[in-house]
Amino acid sequence: MIDDRVRAEMIFYATTHDYSDAARYERFALDCKLDRKALEIGGVINNLSAHISSSGKPLAILETASATGLTAAGVTTQLARFGITHTYTSLDIEPNLLQYAKERGRGDVFVRGDFERLPFAADAFDIYIMMGAGGYRTDGMFYPEVHRVLRVGGYYVMPQIGPNPFANTSEIHTALQSGLSIVRADHYLIAQKSIVIVPSPTP
């Protein structure tokens, strides 16, 4: 059961798209228990990390639409528990949210930017996390950018939240179209950038 205050905040964010008051968004996110969700996401990332060959380098994690960094806090707490070294890059379009996360040490690198035009080199990340901001994608470049910045073997992780927390068919289809392979599609959409084997022409 969602209480009236949380419902009013949901309507506020859905209608204004105004995330400039970081403390207000943090209160809403905590009311939605996104701090607990973040620990669960950390467990999922920990499991995926066992399948990534990083040649001893820290796991490179990108989260976009990172807001006040609650997901970063939960994921980095879990990875530290399991002794997995990592660098966590947080990207959001709203500078006040990034500043709030940075002041609290929720992540390592903070970048203001648009998740449909990522300011990162190709093949830069092992894990890419995005949660709860699908509705802000406008021009079809989100998944091509996910595919571009992930290393081969890297994973895209999209935890499902809200009233109907299941990966939907159109999301799965769009991820597939960008060249990702689907690993899991339930309460999480997890997709992998796989090696594409091009058959050599027959002589």
The contact set with ligand SAM (CB under 6 A) reads 13, 19, 29, 34, 64-65, 67, 70-71, 92-94, 97, 114-116, 131-133, 136
Task: Strands of 65-106 (E only): list them.
Answer: 86-92
State the minimum distance, in angstroms, from the CB of residue 67 to ligand SAM: 4
Cβ closest to ligand SAM, residue 34 vs residue 157 = 34
State the minimum distance, in angstroms, from the CB of residue 44 to ligand SAM: 14
Cβ closest to ligand SAM, residue 50 vs residue 95 = 95
Residue 147: partners with Cβ closer than 8 Å, 6 or more residues away: 178, 179, 180, 193
State the minimum distance, in angstroms, from the CB of residue 178 to ligand SAM: 17
Cβ closest to ligand SAM, residue 34 vs residue 185 = 34
Residue 85: partners with Cβ closer than 8 Å, 6 or more residues away: 58, 59
Cβ closest to ligand SAM, residue 133 vs residue 182 = 133
* Tokens representing residue 105 in the block: 């040490």
Three-state SS letters, 120-174: CCCCCEEEEEECCCHHHCCCCCHHHHHHHHEEEEEEEEEECCCCCCCCCHHHHHH
State the minimum distance, in angstroms, from the CB of residue 77 to ligand SAM: 15
